[in-house]
Every structure is written in structure tokens, then in C-alpha cells.
Amino acid sequence: MEFKHLCLVRFKEGVVVEDIIQELSKLAAELDMIKFFGWGKDVLNQDALTQGFTHVFSMCFDSAEDLAACMGHEKHGAFAATFMAALDKVVVMDFPFVVAKPAPQPEA
């Protein structure tokens, strides 16, 4: 079963978000246990719903063991210190991903 690592964040004032995203993308490319990495920025600015969170980051893993290996990896630890220092607020969730509606298969 696929596992997700999801982070909702609000960056501190003055943080160059593009630099953080670039470093996180580099980390994801270097760690083979990360099968997918993606991110996005809120576009609707509905503070009552977003509670001030502006960005979301998502990583996918083949198993809980791969997720744990990533979280324990020295490169993740080194980046996590930089990442956490740049954040004003964060919510992190790690969970098995249940597909309720599969993506359509491409036609042959």
C-alpha cells in the first residue's frame, strides 16, 4: 500500500520560498525511496479555511518502511532543520493512501 507524507505550511516573513522548494526538490531526487514529490500554493486565499497555511508538500512511498527510512536518513535530517527554521506554522500527516476513485487509464 502506498504511503503519503503531507505537510501544510506557512513560511516565516522574509523566507525565500523558491530556495526552500529547490532544496526540497533536490532532496527528493537524491532519495530513491521517495517515489513522488509534489507541491502547490493556495490560490483562493480563504483564510477561514486555510487557517493561514499557504503551501502544501506531498511525498509518496511504496511502504511505511520506506517512509521511516526517509525520515531517518541523514540527508532528510539535515534538510529538516533548515525547513523547520523557515516555517511559522506546520501540520504534518503520514498515512496509508486509499484510492477511492482511480485515475483514468490512457487509451491504447
Q: Is the dihedral of CA 76, 35, 94, 15 positive or negative?
A: positive
Which tens digits make up the pLDDT trace of 46-101? Answer: 878 888 899 999 999 999 999 999 999 999 999 999 999 999 999 999 999 988 88
Exposed, middle or buried by CB within 10 Å (0-12, 13-18, 19+), for 46?
Answer: exposed
pTM to 2 decimals?
0.88
Would residue 14 be called left, alpha or beta, if left means φ above 0 and alpha means ψ between -120 and 50 degrees? Answer: left
pLDDT at residue 9 tops 90: yes
The pLDDT assigned to 46 comes to 83
pLDDT at 45: 80
Predicted pLDDT of residue 50? 85
Could you report the per-residue pLDDT of 22-31, keeping only the tens digit for each? 999 999 999 9
pLDDT, mean of residues 30-36: 95
